[in-house]
Amino acid sequence: MQDKQLRYPFEEKFKEDLTTYLQGKKLVDMILPDTTDIEEKWLGIAETYLPDGMREFAAYPTVSLGWMMYVGMAIAKYWDEDWELYNKVENLYTYLRDRIDYDHMDDYICEKVLLLSTDEHNELASVVGECAARTNSLLRHLPIAPSSSDAFHAYVAALHQLYFMGAALQLRRMGYHMTKI
């Protein structure tokens, strides 16, 4: 379950804020999904994403953060579509990025993976942009020193929650609903 993966105390802040925002827009369920298969891919995705994401963060923080939400959505789509096949891909982040390039990965995911219309793409871009901006604001207001080990861990924690929320959002979009048993 995703809660067991929270490694840093400030990760809960990112989770709470994103959950409140997305639940308020009815984009994720009140009970967040247990995404074991998707979560198992996180570490490999994070390790290969970090050089790209960190390079972009100084000039384009919302891109650096938001792209991870798109990655989470793509992984959820792959999970639903043919996990037996996609689970064999060595690294799903590089698989996605190398289909086009880092700068246009959002468009590739929306158009070629999620198969969104132009209007759906624009709506999703607005949601992802808001989630990334909120997370960036929280990051910047944490009581930690810039360029410190804590700052790095906070960035990774933020990416982790954006990945998870992207997956949760896409699962809901595909008709999966989480309810109490």
Flag whether pLDDT at 33 surpasses 50: yes
CA-to-CA distance for 16 and 98, rounded, in angstroms?
Answer: 32
Q: Mind listing the pLDDT tens digit for each residue in 97-133?
A: 999 999 999 999 999 999 999 999 999 999 999 999 9
With a cut of 50, say whether residue 2 has pLDDT above it: no
Q: What is the pLDDT of residues 40-93, one digit of tens each?
A: 999 999 999 999 999 999 999 999 999 999 999 999 999 999 999 999 999 999
Contacts of the segment 104-113: beta carbons below 8 A, 24+ positions apart: 105/67, 105/70, 105/71, 106/66, 106/67, 106/70, 109/70, 109/71, 109/73, 109/74, 110/70, 113/73, 113/74, 113/77, 113/78
Q: Where are the domains of the chain?
A: 18-26+34-173
CB 171 within 8 A of CB 33: yes
